[in-house]
Amino acid sequence: MQAEIIKQIKFGIFSQDQVKKLSVAKLTVPDTYNEDGYPIDGGLLDQRLGVIDPGLVCKTCGGRAKTCPGHFGHIELVRPVIHSEFAKIINMLLQATCQKCHRILLNNEQIDAFRLEMTRELTAEGEGAQVPQESNAEKAAEQSMLKRLKSVKKCPHCQTVQEKIKFSMPTYFYIGERRLKPDEIRDMLAKISDDDLKILGVDSKTSRPEALVLNALLVPPVDVRPSITLETGERSEDDLTHKLVDIMRINQRLEQNINAGAPQIIIDDLWELLQYHVTTYFNNETSGIPPARHRSGRALKTIAQRLKGKEGRFRYNLSGKRVNYSARTVISVDPSIDIDEVGVPQAIAEKLTVPFYVTEWNTEAAQKLLERNEYPMVVNVVALDGKRKRILDTNKEELLKEIKPGYILERQLKDGDIALFNRQPSLHRISIMAHRVVVLPGKTFRITYPATAPYNADFDGDEMNLHIPQTLEAQAEAKYLMAVENQVFSPRDGAVIIANGWDGVIGMYLLTQDDTMLSKDEAEHLLSTGGVRELPKAERNGMYSGKRVFSMLLPKGLNFEWQSSNDKFVIKNGELVEGVVNKKMYGDGRSNKLFIAIVAEYGYDALKEFLVRSSKVAYAYCTLFGVTIGVKEYMLTEQLKKEKESLLTETEAKVQQLIEQYKSKKLEPLLGMTLKQSLEQTIVVELDLARGSAINMLSKSIDNTNFAMLMANSGARASILNVEQMSMFLGQQASREGGRIRRGYYTNRVLPHIPRNKTDAEARGFVKSSFLEGLTPIEMLMHAVGGRGTVIQKGLLTQRSGYLQRRLANALQDYYVLHDNSVRDVNNNLIETIYGGDALDPTKVEFARQQKK
């Protein structure tokens, strides 16, 4: 059924008569309960306002706590007060009307002209859109008119000279020097005619302005402000009730003083106090007045505070709701489960339920399930009428007989169930994926390392949420559209996002080296950990080559070839014949074409299997091989040390030479640069070159037996640059302005320790020490300057781009691609005739390319 479409909503203001009509009780006693603990008649918890205590009957509708919706009451204020939230509108109305005849301060021609403009706007709008909206032009016209009205000196209708009316936040009005009392304001507002109000943008049918000055205050039913009974038996009232008590107390005192004929000053003081209480009752954060406080010193939460902000009714209860069938806990790693699995703690599995729909074909199975009285058992039974019954020892027999097709059994979560797993912030669609449940001991959710990437999760205390789809349709949709293995390729550019890293990459890299040979025991151990029950063909000497062991993990018959400037990788008929597995073809990123080849030929299931098996084998081989790292990886040989020293002296000499050339004006200027700029540029190039040759020296002298080098070469972590910086020297540090560091101390030098006008390598942030040697204090500062620059840049960039991305995502979230490849929004508006101009899905573009070959 199509839900009713709301075309229009109109808000109005209750008139004083409406308030009294709506009210079921006039409240007169500023108190809540009497000594016996019963609500006082005419008090703030009067039983006519509804009941919330079980056992009591509502005096208005006769309903009990559950059936009575609550009823409004009212307080009659002895002196009127201004509704502070509307003070600005009252001000506008007072400014716009004559103080004597209360007509709008426009002459008749102006009124006619304005009316004409309004009707023209309305008809123009009315043709296109169904709902008459306040157009920008209309708003602007109104604004400019109000400005004009403020400066009118004399009423065009009765020629009265207008006095200045001053408005001071939150509720004070002055005419000349004299303060305007609320009752005077009310009388002034009451005299404005309906026609004039229309010009001022007020619809007098739903909101007469004099209703903005309150005579009778509407009191919400007790259901809105329930009192809480503490364990000690003490009653604690809601903040709103407290505030209403305050209002009534002052109201009563004011009445007594008036009746006793007290002096005007006392009455005025009490009146103002009443105004204060009513103002804070509506909004306790009204600017210009101190917030009303609880006895404990806590500011009271009044009406506006209930609705406003992150914890208000809208954002907390309406836009965001707590859901059933969900769980949240800390996550941690488990390399032994599959990428599309999630480890669920036993305690959570026992709490969460999955529906078992009883049909005529599975009634027997349902009964068997229902009979169980340990772990995967039925918790609730939902009968045909939708009533949910908890299973107890007492009613089990009965229910066993009762169940028939149409019943739903709510069964505890068990292995193999489908669950949606989510980590906030949910920035993209793969922040929620479908996993298969594995029930495990412990208290944390478990996922594998490759599955962390799309969630951007790590295990330093991250928490994640689990949701259990409750219908078969939802389960199927989750399983086939949202399963982890279907999200291996990024919807952004088709790059691989779910892949192995770190030890996974190193393990594969070592295993597939040309000279890797394994004994039978070792090969058996590796393959069985990976879940493969066969051995590959042995070499002549009875050993097994690493490449062959790796090939056992590949889908049978796979053909794949990949080549780059320094790598070649060939798989023929399911056998790795050439190349070494490294991060480029096995890790995440655009360069991984192996995964694409597997999916294109064998599907996502085969890829999942390959990924799971290969990572297990990789971890096992790392252990077998003994991958480790220590300070020794960064120690230089005597030979290298000497080479490094001479490189540094050479470089320094070169820089010095350039400076000399500059001073004697012999330096060749570079294109488009001043001589000074050219000097800087050539020095920077020279210093970069030094680091480049240091890297060359290093990579020539150490090989993969060095584990630091091994990490860099396999692509698992770090690069040769990092190794160089640790063992040779750090090199030039960059300043935030780009270029060498030169500022800091006032005479254009970084520190007072550096002689003036010294511009050589060391003085401008070239670090000669390595991390292993340790930095000198000056070098340390240079490094810190460079480090700060990077941190600031990174921070600014992520913040900006994050917000840009969020706004874009929010603007586009309801668009979808229809079956004809056109893009529509929820109202079937056409956005694009063909998605992206080519209707291509980035995750699948590469498949097409593979197949073309």
Partner 1 sequence: MSKREHDLVPTHRILSRTEVNEVLSSLGITVGNLPEILASDPQAKKAEAKDGDVLEIDREDFGKSYKYYRHVVER
Smaller CB separation from partner 1, 714 or 843: 843
* H helices present in 570-703, as ranges: 583-586, 594-602, 604-625, 638-663, 675-701
Smaller CB separation from partner 1, 365 or 834: 834
Q: What is the DSSP string of 367-387?
A: HHHHH--SSS-EEEEE-TTS-
Task: Copy the structure tokens of residue 512.
Answer: 């597939």
Which one of 178, 834, 848, 849 is in contact with partner 1 (CB under 8 A)?
834
Smaller CB separation from partner 1, 829 or 851: 829
Task: Copy the structure tokens of residue 544.
Answer: 């097994």
CB of 2 to partner 1, least distance (A): 17
Smaller CB separation from partner 1, 2 or 827: 827
Q: Distance between CA 159 and CA 164 in Å, rounded?
A: 15
CB of 827 to partner 1, least distance (A): 7
Q: What is the DSSP string of 86-129?
A: GHHHHHHHHHHB-TTT--BSS-HHHHHHHHHHHHHHHHHHHHH-
817 HSE (CA, 13 A, CB side): 10
CB of 144 to partner 1, least distance (A): 21
Which one of 748, 831, 848, 849 is in contact with partner 1 (CB under 8 A)?
831
Q: Which stretch binds partner 1 (CB under 8 A): 357-365, 391-399, 449-457, 832-840?
A: 832-840
CB of 497 to partner 1, least distance (A): 24
Q: Which stretch binds partner 1 (CB under 8 A): 39-47, 638-646, 678-686, 827-835?
A: 827-835
CB of 125 to partner 1, least distance (A): 11
Which one of 838, 851, 852, 853 is in contact with partner 1 (CB under 8 A)?
838
Smaller CB separation from partner 1, 76 or 832: 832
CB of 289 to partner 1, least distance (A): 46
> First and final CA of the chain: distance in angstroms?
51
CB of 658 to partner 1, least distance (A): 47
Smaller CB separation from partner 1, 416 or 836: 836
Which one of 822, 841, 844, 845 is in contact with partner 1 (CB under 8 A)?
822
Smaller CB separation from partner 1, 441 or 837: 837
Q: Which stretch binds partner 1 (CB under 8 A): 336-344, 487-495, 592-600, 822-830?
A: 822-830
Which one of 7, 153, 837, 852 is in contact with partner 1 (CB under 8 A)?
837
Site for partner 1 in 198-237 (CB under 8 A): none
Q: What are phi and psi of 633, to 5 degrees?
A: -65, -20
Smaller CB separation from partner 1, 689 or 834: 834
Q: Which stretch binds partner 1 (CB under 8 A): 354-362, 419-427, 574-582, 825-833?
A: 825-833
Q: Which stretch binds partner 1 (CB under 8 A): 334-342, 753-761, 762-770, 824-832?
A: 824-832
Q: Distance between CA 599 and CA 382 in Å, rounded?
A: 42
Q: Distance between CA 473 and CA 479 in Å, rounded?
A: 10
Size of the site for partner 1 (CB under 8 A): 14
CB of 828 to partner 1, least distance (A): 6
Find tokens 């390729």 and name the residue: 489
Site for partner 1 in 298-327 (CB under 8 A): none
Which one of 827, 851, 852, 853 is in contact with partner 1 (CB under 8 A)?
827
Site track 772-811 with partner 1 (rule: CB under 8 A), x = hit: ----------------------------------------
CB of 124 to partner 1, least distance (A): 9
Smaller CB separation from partner 1, 739 or 842: 842
- SS3 state at 643: helix
CB of 806 to partner 1, least distance (A): 25
* H helices present in 283-413, as ranges: 303-307, 346-351, 363-371, 396-402
Which one of 657, 804, 820, 848 is in contact with partner 1 (CB under 8 A)?
820
Smaller CB separation from partner 1, 133 or 359: 133
Which one of 232, 566, 747, 829 is in contact with partner 1 (CB under 8 A)?
829
Smaller CB separation from partner 1, 424 or 833: 833
Among candidate residues 14, 21, 27, the one with its CA nearest the CA of residue 74: 27
Smaller CB separation from partner 1, 329 or 822: 822
Smaller CB separation from partner 1, 234 or 838: 838
Task: Copy the structure tokens of residue 427.
Answer: 């920035």
Contacts (Cβ under 8 Å, ≥6 apart) of 541: none
Task: Copy the structure tokens of residue 162.
Answer: 């207008």
Smaller CB separation from partner 1, 465 or 822: 822
CB of 825 to partner 1, least distance (A): 9
Q: Distance between CA 847 and CA 850 in Å, rounded?
A: 5
Which helix H or strand E contains 725, and what residues bound it?
Answer: helix 720-727
| Angle made by CA atoms 727, 728, 732, in degrees to the nearest 5 | 125
396 HSE (CA, 13 A, CB side): 15
CB of 840 to partner 1, least distance (A): 9
Smaller CB separation from partner 1, 541 or 828: 828
Task: Output b/e per residue, 597-612; b: 16+ Cβ within 10 A.
Answer: bbbbbbebebbbbbbb
Q: Does 833 bind partner 1 (CB under 8 A)?
A: yes
Q: Which stretch binds partner 1 (CB under 8 A): 186-194, 616-624, 668-676, 831-839?
A: 831-839
For 160, which DSSP code? P
Q: Which stretch binds partner 1 (CB under 8 A): 264-272, 575-583, 641-649, 819-827?
A: 819-827
Q: Which stretch binds partner 1 (CB under 8 A): 303-311, 385-393, 622-630, 826-834?
A: 826-834
Q: Distance between CA 732 and CA 387 in Å, rounded?
A: 74
Q: Does 288 bind partner 1 (CB under 8 A)?
A: no
Residue 262 CB-density burial (10 A; 0-12 exposed, 13-18 middle, 19+ buried): middle
CB of 834 to partner 1, least distance (A): 5
Site for partner 1 in 477-516 (CB under 8 A): none
* Distances 52 to 38, 393, 796 between C-alpha atoms, Å: 12, 34, 53
Q: What are phi and psi of 72, to 5 degrees?
A: -80, 150
Contact 497, 488 (CB under 8 A): yes
Smaller CB separation from partner 1, 110 or 821: 821
Task: Copy the structure tokens of residue 797.
Answer: 């960039």
What is the spatial order of strands in the sheet that 568-572 belongs to? Answer: 560-563, 568-572, 575-578
Side chain identity at residue 321, one-letter code = K
CB of 813 to partner 1, least distance (A): 19
Residue 830 CB-density burial (10 A; 0-12 exposed, 13-18 middle, 19+ buried): exposed
Contact 788, 736 (CB under 8 A): yes
Q: Does 815 bind partner 1 (CB under 8 A)?
A: no
CB of 842 to partner 1, least distance (A): 13
Task: Copy the structure tokens of residue 752.
Answer: 């007072």
Peptide bond into 291 cis (omega under 30): no
Q: What are phi and psi of 674, to 5 degrees?
A: -75, 170
Smaller CB separation from partner 1, 365 or 830: 830
Which one of 136, 810, 828, 851 is in contact with partner 1 (CB under 8 A)?
828
Q: Tell me the longest C-alpha to C-alpha distance in the chain.
A: 120
Site for partner 1 in 110-169 (CB under 8 A): 128
Contacts (Cβ under 8 Å, ≥6 apart) of 212: 13, 82, 83, 86, 89, 90, 189
Site residues (vs partner 1, CB under 8 A): 128, 820, 822, 827-834, 836-838
